[in-house]
Amino acid sequence: MSICVLAGGKALTLGAALFTLSWTHSVEKIRWEEDWRATPAGLEIVEARVQGSGAGMEPPPDAHFEDGWWRYRPSLPAQAELALAASGATGSGWKLCASEKCHELGAAAEKPVIVRYCE
């Protein structure tokens, strides 16, 4: 199983089924991370973590605090794709890590970065 990333007119295929997507909130400057699994049914979220709250980032009631992070599992069905905004105005982009390699995505203003399952 693989993950396909379409960014800035380029395509990248990552030979991994699990990946972590992370970013820093543009207003609160707080780290956010999500673990995802790529399956033929789509992208399934495994866990989300946030290091604080504020500006629309409140952890849900079922979140628990562990090692400096609010951890929880969002209730989402499998997603066909993730569309990550790439405004270039937030100071940083997205970080996608899979198989111990990380890629910075969407730091410059461009079309959204698309992440999806591929074979």
Whole-number pLDDT of residue 96: 94
Rounded to two decimals, what is the model's pTM? 0.88
87-109: average pLDDT: 82
Question: Could you read off the pLDDT of 9-60 as tens digits, one per residue?
Answer: 889 899 999 999 998 866 667 888 999 999 999 999 999 999 877 666 678 8
Q: What band does 1 get if pLDDT is binned at 50, 70 and 90? A: confident
C-alpha to C-alpha distance for 116 and 51, rounded to whole angstroms = 26
Question: Could you read off the pLDDT of 68-84 as tens digits, one per residue?
Answer: 999 999 999 999 999 99
- Per-residue DSSP letters for 48-101? EEES---TT-PPPTT-EEETTEEEE----PPBSEEEE---S-SS--EEEEETTE
- Beta-carbon count within 10 A of 101 CB: 10
Residue 98 structure tokens? 């899979």
Would you list the domain boundaries of the chain?
2-118
Question: Could you read off the pLDDT of 51-61 as tens digits, one per residue?
Answer: 877 666 678 88
C-alpha to C-alpha distance for 35 and 89, rounded to whole angstroms = 25
C-alpha to C-alpha distance for 6 and 25, rounded to whole angstroms = 22
Average pLDDT, the chain: 87
